[in-house]
Chain A
Amino acid sequence: MSSIPVPAGAPAAEPSAAALKWRALAEPLVPAAAALALTVLLFSAAVALAGFNAFEVWGLIVLGGFGDAFAWQNTLQRAAPLILTGLAVALPAQAGRVIIGNEGALVLGGLAASALGNVLAAAQAGAWLVWPAMAIAGALAGGVWIGLVGLLREKREVNETIASLLMSFIAIALFNQCVETVLRDPASLNKPSTKPLPDALLLPTMPGLDVHYGLLLGLLVALAAWAVMRFTPLGLALRVAGGNARTALGVGLPVVKLTIGACAAGGACAGLAGAVEVAAVHGAANASLIAGYGYTGILIAFAARFSPAGVVPVAILVGGIAASGSLLQRRLGLPDAAVTVLLGFAFVALIACETLRGRQFFKARS
């Protein structure tokens, strides 16, 4: 083809400016669209093989996740910790660090918040003192834990992905030890727990909504992270350090401080998620905190392509799918695990379809 000489006076057709603009808008959507199609296809097939009507199942997922006010409340309630654990992976990733051990930071955050909350409650402190103190304790515990992982990476070149996973296992052992011994409430017989917070100190729901203030906190943290990344020199410095450390060093950026700080900020988000779960949902720190939010957060961050703003809609979508599980079970007798399968398929498809990114699909036809 290329050997055919082009006659003079007839140059190769250049796409018009409008076509180029349209292409630039449409091409980033191709991977997401392909992933959606693949997920729908795969999960419909799985559901049909199990003997269910796929259309009915999809209808109930939309209804159970986003159908009415009740469904939305359930969805947002589940999304609240996921926004924070998604940010916990997205922030270090902006600086080029892949952290997968936030489950540990979350449980330690919950433990620290519960311990401090009980001390302050015993001292008759008011709610408006206890809540910020719990949040700070949780964020500090998680931040120090993952900050340590960042430090190991910078000082000893220890891979942060593996180190964070190991630190997560260590954190969970530490958590179990504390909950079973020194911090154990003697009244918790079957399920070892820390002392529950008094009812007056439980985080209330937002006015007009049956969703606790943890959601607002998550949204505010996401907004702040987005603003920092988008508008401040710090955000730019982080992205440069994550994109090319050598360049960053060359222009005199404090790369070591930046990356350790990003890891610590991520850990703080995970610890905050633990504190919120304790203050708003469980009332005490116990095994219910180890619910896999840390792992789901990894997938949410990858699906959002590490954008702090993108984490919010993805977390809400995941929360909605998870929320629809109970409706599917009640109406069709579909097991809870089906929802996990759907989420698994969706993330596999999303991550696999990243391969389509950056390719040209809408070539001008000659």
Chain B
Amino acid sequence: MTDASALGWWGVPLAILGGAIRVGTPLLWVSLGETVTEKAGRINLGLEGTLLMGAMTAFAVSLATGSPWLGCLAAAGVGVLLGMLHGALCSLARVNDTAMGIALMLAGSGLAFWLGKPLIQPSAPGLPAIALGGWSDVAAVKASLAINPLFVLGLVLAFATHWALGRTRFGLRLRVVGDSENAARAFGLSPTAYRIAATAFGGACAGVGGASLSLVYPGAWSEALSSGQGVMAVALVIFARWDPRRCILAGLLFGGASAISPALQALGYSQGYYLLAALPYVLTLAVLIGLGKPGPSHGAPGELSLNR
């Protein structure tokens, strides 16, 4: 971040943009996954555990095979397993999905730290960046515009998910399941099957989000890797009002808010920036207060336990 000072004040928006993308990539992925899960009427508060398991797995596989893309795939696989577990257990009668999510968060993060103990020292090959700043000679510009491939993939996935939820047979059925269980049963759909599938997808996305932490930025495995990105997912989804496209905006805003402070610090301003970290949450709370009880007209799934 010391490069930012070379550009003077121009360095600030540039550093914020670069930081927003870097920090926002895992947020984009977890919120996309959680959106689909919630669209099916289920909430997964345990994505923090999935994120950490994904980060650890991606790092370990990349280290062992030398291929970071294989690492991402493995992270998605682990995410699918954890998502299916959450989905299946929450389908049992009288099992509370809020509590199960938090229990799985504890189990997942514990497992990731246990299995990841030997991975703290070595460095695994990371994902190569897509250099969009080649036209500039300034290092700060280059650094800010070296876009990581998972962000680009996340953008594509956001639009693809939006299309799939609105235009495909599976997407429409998934939303029926999420909006009214009775209507779904009348159509002969199995809410349980759709919810397990949606939770598995959410897990896969969170796994890839974790991979972006350990393979892109900060790009190593440590126990302090995640600063609660998985728990934030629920807030991001509300901020995006259950629209996958708005998850991009939400991810960039939440990421940017935490990138502002180091950028300002590089210019010697160190007052008051901790409060900026609260800004996205204040905005999300404002969205919630504005909506009151979010209903289907706001894109909120009617069967979501939190909206009833």
Contact = CB atoms under 8 A, between A and B. Distances in A.
A351 B105 CA distance: 13
A347 B235 contact: no
Interface in A292-336: 295-296, 298-299, 302, 335-336
Interface of A: 50, 98, 100, 152, 156-159, 161-163, 165-167, 169-170, 173-174, 176-177, 180-181, 295-296, 298-299, 302, 335-345, 347-348, 350-352, 354-355, 357-358
Contacts of A176: 274, 277
A302 B95 CA distance: 11
A351 B272 contact: no
Interface of B: 45, 49, 89, 92-96, 98-100, 102-114, 117, 228, 231-232, 234-235, 238, 271-272, 274-275, 277-278, 281-282, 284-285, 288-289, 292-293, 306-307
A118 B263 CA distance: 34
- Give the dominant DSSP class at A's interface: helix
B117 A335 contact: yes
A263 B282 CA distance: 20
Contacts, number: 142
A344 B101 CA distance: 11
A340 B231 contact: no
A347 B281 contact: no
Contacts of A162: 234-235, 238, 288, 306
Contacts of A163: 285, 288
A352 B282 CA distance: 34
Contact of B114 (A167, A174, A338): A338
10 contacts: A50-B114, A166-B288, A169-B228, A169-B278, A176-B274, A340-B106, A341-B107, A344-B104, A344-B110, A351-B99
B102 A156 contact: no
A344 B282 contact: no
B110 A341 contact: yes
B92 A352 contact: yes
Contacts of A173: 274-275, 277-278, 281
A336 B109 CA distance: 12
A344 B106 CA distance: 5
Nearest to A338: B114
Contacts of B96: 302, 351, 354
Nearest to B288: A158
A302 B275 contact: no
A302 B45 CA distance: 15
Nearest to B86: A348
Contacts of A157: 292-293
